């Protein structure tokens, strides 16, 4: 099948590469010349484990181009996978979706199915259908299908190739059958529904997970007050099959490209329709407050950060990605800098993107040892394996004053008790603390 994917970000590129893996001929379209040149050279413009390897494996089935008109005109199926960033009021910005939709309408020369893969507010597919039909240049038949993605950054390839379900919102059997031809190679269960329900499934799923994270963080904060251990609490909760053990890891809040904007977008949509989803509204508030948890902890040890040497381990919002969107580091580091701290940071994947924001304000190190040397305080923002697997005695050996504020609960409390390190984590007792 001849497939075209508009957009080479996380959603578009991963979708395209995974579709080529099951034998489809896929053309990736983007307006960013640098991205397309990078892809043509065999490199991925985003860091995603396993993605570049699949690109190399399926070179003969993958094509990258800036020429959208030529790509769209004879496609069987066109996926729209461009970004829908958050507007200032919290609503989803559909500018790029409509730009692609117009270009598709003016380019296609044969009947085709147009698939909205981007996360869009409920009712958008219906509007896109009307918009495309109003802008068609040629007499062709088009079907618009909602097909939301459920991938997580860092595991996007696995999530796509081994998804738990494929949601298809189609208005007729023809479009449904075409989508099954696209996806049958994956061998995954289908959820066939109308477009509005498919759009809602995406938001409801993401926002439920955001709620779960916010809830466990609230419980963790209370655990610290009453002397309970959040990890034991989460373990006990997770063994209940009605609850499940996923997304019960307490920390300093969710980030990335999905949960923050999707919670705000659904809340905005509800308010726009004179309804309030109070649980989502609370999750947003809890998450914003949770990002400041480490700063509040650090204030127990230093009233001011002026002149302090501060080590930062991890800059990205989660491991195995170079994405900084809504990362806790972007909330905390400006506060530390404004207070006069000297910051050294280590993140082998996120450094490049962080330098675009702070090119000279902080020192970027090439290893943990250099980052920790002579530090008065250490913040852990990302639970990279290199952080979790670190010989914890290095904190005491290298730091001027071994105070570790861990936002991801990377270390075992019993092991930390054996050291002289002041260890302050989330929802657990502070160890070896100063009197």
Active-site option among 18, 28, 258, 378: 258
Average pLDDT over residues 209-217: 97
Q: Phi/psi of residue 319, each to 5°?
A: -70, 165
Q: What is the pLDDT of residues 50-67, one digit of tens each?
A: 999 999 999 999 999 999
How far apart (Å, rounded) are the C-alpha atoms in residues 293 and 288?
10
Average the pLDDT over 227-248 and give the result. Answer: 97
Please write the tens of the pLDDT for every residue from 150-202: 999 999 999 999 999 999 999 999 999 999 999 999 999 999 999 999 999 99
What separation, in Å, do the N-terminal and C-terminal C-alpha atoms of the chain show? 69
pLDDT at 434: 66
- Residue 74: pLDDT band (50, 70, 90) is very high
Segment 103-113 shows an average pLDDT of 97
What domains appear along the chain, each with residue ranges and CATH number? 2-193 (3.40.50.720), 202-290 (1.10.1040.10), 293-424 (3.40.50.720)
Round the average pLDDT of the chain to a whole number and report it: 96
Q: Is the Cα torsion angle 293, 294, 298, 303 positive or negative in sign?
A: negative
C-alpha 279/C-alpha 284 separation (Å) is 9
User: Which whole number is the average pLDDT over 204-220?
Assistant: 97
pLDDT digits (tens, 9 = 90+) for 240-258: 999 999 999 999 999 998 9
95 contacts: CB under 8 Å, gap ≥ 6: none
pTM of structure: 0.93
Segment 295-310 shows an average pLDDT of 96
Lowest model confidence (mean pLDDT) among 84-88, 313-317, 355-359:
84-88
> Cα separation of 262 and 203, whole Å?
6
Q: Per-residue pLDDT tens for 342-396?
A: 999 999 999 999 999 999 999 999 999 999 999 999 999 999 999 999 999 999 9
Per the annotation, the verdict on 112 as an active-site residue is no
pLDDT value, residue 432: 86
pLDDT tens digit sequence for 15-54: 999 999 999 999 999 999 999 999 999 999 999 999 999 9
Q: Look at residue 435 in the predicted model and tell me its pLDDT.
A: 46
Q: What is the average per-residue pLDDT within 85-104?
A: 96
Give the up-direction half-sphere exposure of residue 413: CA atoms within 13 A in the CB hemisphere: 15
* E strand or H helix that includes residue 380: strand 377-380
Quote the tokens at residue 388: 């979790």
């Amino acid at each position: 099948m001849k497939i075209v994917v508009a957009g080479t970000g996380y959603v578009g590129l991963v979708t395209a590469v995974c579709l080529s893996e099951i034998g489809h001929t896929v053309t990736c379209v983007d307006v960013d010349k640098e991205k397309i040149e990078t892809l043509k050279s065999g490199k991925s413009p985003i860091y995603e484990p396993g993605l570049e390897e699949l690109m190399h494996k399926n070179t003969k089935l993958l094509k990258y181009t800036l020429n959208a008109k030529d790509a769209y005109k004879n496609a069987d199926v066109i996926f729209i996978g461009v970004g829908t960033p958050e507007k200032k009021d919290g609503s989803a910005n559909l500018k790029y979706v409509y730009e692609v939709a117009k270009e598709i309408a003016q380019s296609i020369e044969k009947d085709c199915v147009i698939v909205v893969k981007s996360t869009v507010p409920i009712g958008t597919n219906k509007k896109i259908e009307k918009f495309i039909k109003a802008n068609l240049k040629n007499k062709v038949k088009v079907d618009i299908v909602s097909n939301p993605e459920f991938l997580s950054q860092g595991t996007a390839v696995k999530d796509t190739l081994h998804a738990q379900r494929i949601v298809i919102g189609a208005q007729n059997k023809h479009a449904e059958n075409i989508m099954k031809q696209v996806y049958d190679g994956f061998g995954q269960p289908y959820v066939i529904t109308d477009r509005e329900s498919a759009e809602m499934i995406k938001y409801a799923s993401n926002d439920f997970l955001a709620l779960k994270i916010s809830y466990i963080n609230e419980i963790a904060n209370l655990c610290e007050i009453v002397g309970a251990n959040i990890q034991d609490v989460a373990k006990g909760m997770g063994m209940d099959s009605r609850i499940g053990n996923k997304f019960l890891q307490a920390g300093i809040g969710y980030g990335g490209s999905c949960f923050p904007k999707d919670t705000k977008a659904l809340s905005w949509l509800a308010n726009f329709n004179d309804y309030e989803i109070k649980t989502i509204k609370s999750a947003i508030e809890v998450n914003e407050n949770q990002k400041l948890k480490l700063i509040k902890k650090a204030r127990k040890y230093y009233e001011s950060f002026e002149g302090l040497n501060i080590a930062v381990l991890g800059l990205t919002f989660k491991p195995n990605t170079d994405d900084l969107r809504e990362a806790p580091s972007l909330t905390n580091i400006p506060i530390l800098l404004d207070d006069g701290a000297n910051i050294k940071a280590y993140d082998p994947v996120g450094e490049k993107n962080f330098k675009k924001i702070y090119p000279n304000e902080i020192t970027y190190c090439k290893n943990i040892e250099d980052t920790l040397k002579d530090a008065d305080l250490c913040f852990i923002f990302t639970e990279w394996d290199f952080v979790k697997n670190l010989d914890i005695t290095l904190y005491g050996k290298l730091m001027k004053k071994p105070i570790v504020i861990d936002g991801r609960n990377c270390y075992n409390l019993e092991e930390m008790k054996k050291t002289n390190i002041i260890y302050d984590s989330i929802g657990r007792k502070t160890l070896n603390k100063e009197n």
